[in-house]
Structure 1
Amino acid sequence: MSAARNRALTPTELDRFGEELDALRARTVATVGERDARYIRRIIAAVRYTEVAARTLLFASALLGGLLAAGQAWAWLFWPTWILGALLLGGAKILENMELGHNVIHGQYDWMGDPQINGRTYEWDIVATSENWRHTHNFRHHTYTNIRGLDDDIGYGLLRIFPEQKWKPFYLVQPLVAIVFALYFQWGVAIQDLKLGRWWHGKMTGAQLRRKARPVLRKMSRQLIKDYLVFPALAGPFFLPVLLGNLVANGMRNVWTYVIIFCGHFTADAETFPKECIKNESRGHWYLRQLRGSSNIGGGRWMNVMSGNLSHQIEHHFYPDIPANRYAEMAVEVREVCARYGQHYNTGSLPRQFGQVAWRILRHAFPSRARIKVPLVLPEPEPAPEAA
């Protein structure tokens, strides 16, 4: 457990810890430029051309499906064409969601002055509005990372993942709830900021809920019409393969996003914190909280790209507005800084990290007690007495 691997820091050490990480940020920001612009433009092109190729294959599979129904011998190509189209479309949706949308909405490319990738106006290809995401994710989650009662991402109001969360009988079914949540993850993200629990307990009126829900319902309607009406309709009487291809692609994106996000903060070594910890929180203290509440995933370049570089969740929480393609190189120095100050740098393979998440979901469905943790900060040592 991380508690056994972390050393509590004195206020002076904590200040130095923060200064070193701030210095890394300053050096990186000074070099951001054309290299990063080329990278994000390649990502935009990859999303666009992969989606075009995927939808072309799905339309082709729809036509082949008609031939298959007519008994044409070479219509066996229907299945490989449809599978490839669905997989490519899922890949395009993952790339747009993770490496493009998530990072653009953080404002990582606002310095380019390109309205196409402006963090305040970008709208991504999921049922959730980017405006709600900027509040629930960019503000609340990144400001109050893993603080109980302030970070709504801790279990998303559905799951008990840490022993510090109060147990309720409902959590006994959370292994099943977790599977359903993974399959419909974009819908959970869409309604997260509506605070349905407040309405359910009478703390929000129906009129207030309707006002908050209007933009969300409009976005949901647009996405449903695009994926399950417009594109299938273009295939005419062979609409079904296209509709099912879109359904599979959205499901792929939901499950993959769920896995990556849950690995980022809910592994065995990730910690949660009480509200009191942010009182007079220093810069170094903030960095330390982000470190102890976050987890990385190993896997190399493809893992980095397809996770939106959330494989470097620690670096992302340290520097959310720096272009994410820089995180891999920054991670080398971040790891060195953590080692110098006796702090555990939480990383592991995807199977290892998600296995820990799955175990948490299963274990904390039942009553459990909070663990003892190493404090974040120690008092300064008393000066040695002067010799007589």
Structure 2
Amino acid sequence: MSDSTSEATVRVVKTTPRARGANATSEFSALLQTVKNLGLLHRRTGFYWIVFGVLVAALGGAIAGFVLLGDSWFQLLIAGALGILFTQFAFLAHEASHRQVFQSGPANDRAGRILANGVVGISYSWWMHKHSRHHAHPNVIGKDPDIANDVIVFQEAEAAKVPWLHALVVRKQGWWFFPLLMLEGLNLHVHGLRTVMGPRKVDRRWQELTMIVLRLAVYLGAVFAFLPLGMAFAFVGVQLAVFGLYMGASFAPNHKGMPQLPHDSKVDFLRRQVLTSRNIRGGWGMLVFMGGLNYQAEHHLFPNMPRPNLAKASEIVREYCQNHGIVYTETSLVQSYAIVVQYLNRVGLSARDPFDCPMVAQFRVH
């Protein structure tokens, strides 16, 4: 189905019949029971061990290539490959955090913490805190941290308030969005360090701090010991840029430009998760590329469903939504990116022109 504007779709969310009460609860219960009966919530641990083995082998190959290439600008290809591999490891950490990998909760937490902190270099506790809030309130204004104001602004009312310097970016933020994602890798690492070293309570703080610092020391130590200074900085820069761009390009299509719900909205669970999510077509290739995030509606409805089962679940959810009059959005990857850019630019138009003189503006004929 085609995408809709946020404003129009929010009105649909507010007025959709049976959006509250026992009927809405029974609707999701029936869908959940169907999924359970088909065994789609059963763990697929073997699949994840295979993925982990392939990634470890690829990481070993990248390290071997790094050593063999030595003082060569071809090292930047290795840096790009590492950016991709770290993103794939982050997908596994994300799935472990959702209890998709092992039956045991503690086993999933251990795997997620090791992968996030020790391999990717991101605080597992910070990610869990932020991501749990997102899943509970996707695209809910004031509750979902993924649409909170930052360099990019996601609500027109907020865009109108930004200072003139910030408005330079916001007015064309759709075009800036993907270039800015190249800084997201550095941003994620900074947030991780600030969390484990900050005053906020962190579960297993010293474990996380030790893994992050050790990972950082080994990685940077190897790069700056083996490569000339300028090449070493270029290597780290390319790796972080690819990592940030890949991470952002995988998460951005899922909710950006989809309906945003008011802070006090009472939309039921089924509609809240489906109406605010966008799926990406593409089969197994897209499943690997996006780490299962291409089935965003199903991931939000059944967050502990293993990645290989999401495709089958999407067939069930799509038909169920059609039968119950619930908008189910699915696009191509390229189309989703175009929607995100257009949406962000539309929001950005609300930011005042930084070159517009306020004294002149008050005398302008509208």
Q: TM-score range by the shorter chain?
A: 0.7 to 0.9
1:276-306: CA deviation from partner (whole Å, max 9, x where unpaired): 224xx6xxx1111011111111222122112
Cα 1:28–1:153, aligned 2, differ >3 Å: closer, same or farther?
Answer: farther
Alpha-carbon distance, 1:41 to partner: 0.4
Q: 1:141-160 to 2 correspondence within 5 Å?
A: 141-155=134-148, 157-160=150-153
Cα 1:168–1:192, aligned 2, differ >3 Å: closer, same or farther?
Answer: farther
Could you tell me which residue of structure 1 aligns to residue 126 of structure 2? 132
Distance 2:112 2:283 in 1: 30
Cα 1:250–1:153, aligned 2, differ >3 Å: closer, same or farther?
Answer: same
Helix, strand or coil for the counterpart of 1:301? helix
Could you tell me which residue of structure 1 aligns to residue 356 of structure 2? none
Helix, strand or coil for the counterpart of 1:311? coil
**Given residue 20 of structure 1, which amino acid in structure 2 is its aligned partner?**
A
Helix, strand or coil for the counterpart of 1:249? helix
Helix, strand or coil for the counterpart of 1:347? strand
Helix, strand or coil for the counterpart of 2:145? coil
Q: TM-score, normalised by structure 1?
A: 0.73
**Given residue 184 of structure 1, which amino acid in structure 2 is its aligned partner?**
L
The answer to whether 1:184 aligns with 2:183 is yes
Could you tell me which residue of structure 2 aligns to residue 345 of structure 1? 328
Cα 1:117–1:59, aligned 2, differ >3 Å: closer, same or farther?
Answer: farther
Could you tell me which residue of structure 2 aligns to residue 375 of structure 1? none
| Bigger mean CA offset, 143-152 vs 171-180 | 171-180
Select 1:319's aligned residue among 283, 302, 308: 302
The CA RMSD measured in Å over matched residues stands at 3.4
Could you tell me which residue of structure 2 aligns to residue 102 of structure 1? 94
Could you tell me which residue of structure 2 aligns to residue 18 of structure 1? 28
Select 2:264's aligned residue among 268, 273, 276: 276
Could you tell me which residue of structure 2 aligns to residue 331 of structure 1? 314
Alpha-carbon distance, 1:228 to partner: 2.1
Contact persistence 1:316–1:327 (CA under 8 A): yes
Could you tell me which residue of structure 2 aligns to residue 251 of structure 1? 241
- Structure index of larger Rg: 1
Alpha-carbon distance, 1:59 to partner: 1.9
Could you tell me which residue of structure 2 aligns to residue 384 of structure 1? none
Q: TM-score, normalised by structure 2?
A: 0.77
Helix, strand or coil for the counterpart of 2:316? helix
1:166-216: CA deviation from partner (whole Å, max 9, x where unpaired): 6323452232874564112234345669999xxxxxxxxxxx994239958
Task: Return 5+ residue gaps in structure 1 as ranges.
Answer: 66-77, 197-207, 369-388
Task: Return 5+ residue gaps in structure 2 as ranges.
Answer: 352-366
Distance 1:292 1:252 in 2: 30
1:123-173: CA deviation from partner (whole Å, max 9, x where unpaired): 413342001111110x21111111111111114533222336463234522
Could you tell me which residue of structure 1 aligns to residue 37 of structure 2? 27
Contact persistence 2:278–2:330 (CA under 8 A): yes
Contact persistence 1:50–1:89 (CA under 8 A): no
Contact persistence 1:182–1:254 (CA under 8 A): yes
Could you tell me which residue of structure 2 aligns to residue 266 of structure 1? 256
Distance 1:156 1:118 in 2: 32
Could you tell me which residue of structure 2 aligns to residue 74 of structure 1? none
**Given residue 143 of structure 1, which amino acid in structure 2 is its aligned partner?**
A
Contact persistence 1:20–1:337 (CA under 8 A): no
Could you tell me which residue of structure 1 aligns to residue 359 of structure 2? none
Helix, strand or coil for the counterpart of 1:296? strand
1:36-94: CA deviation from partner (whole Å, max 9, x where unpaired): 1111001110110101111211222215x3xxxxxxxxxxxx74xx4553343233212
The answer to whether 1:228 aligns with 2:220 is yes
State the number of aligned residues. 329
Contact persistence 2:298–2:310 (CA under 8 A): yes
Helix, strand or coil for the counterpart of 1:273? coil
4+ residue runs over 6 A deviation: 4-7, 193-196, 216-219
Contact persistence 1:18–1:287 (CA under 8 A): yes
Distance 2:41 2:99 in 1: 17
Q: 1:289-304 to 2 correspondence within 5 Å?
A: 289-304=272-287
Cα 1:162–1:192, aligned 2, differ >3 Å: closer, same or farther?
Answer: farther
Q: Percent identity?
A: 18
Contact persistence 1:105–1:118 (CA under 8 A): no
Distance 1:23 1:178 in 2: 40
Alpha-carbon distance, 1:16 to partner: 4.0
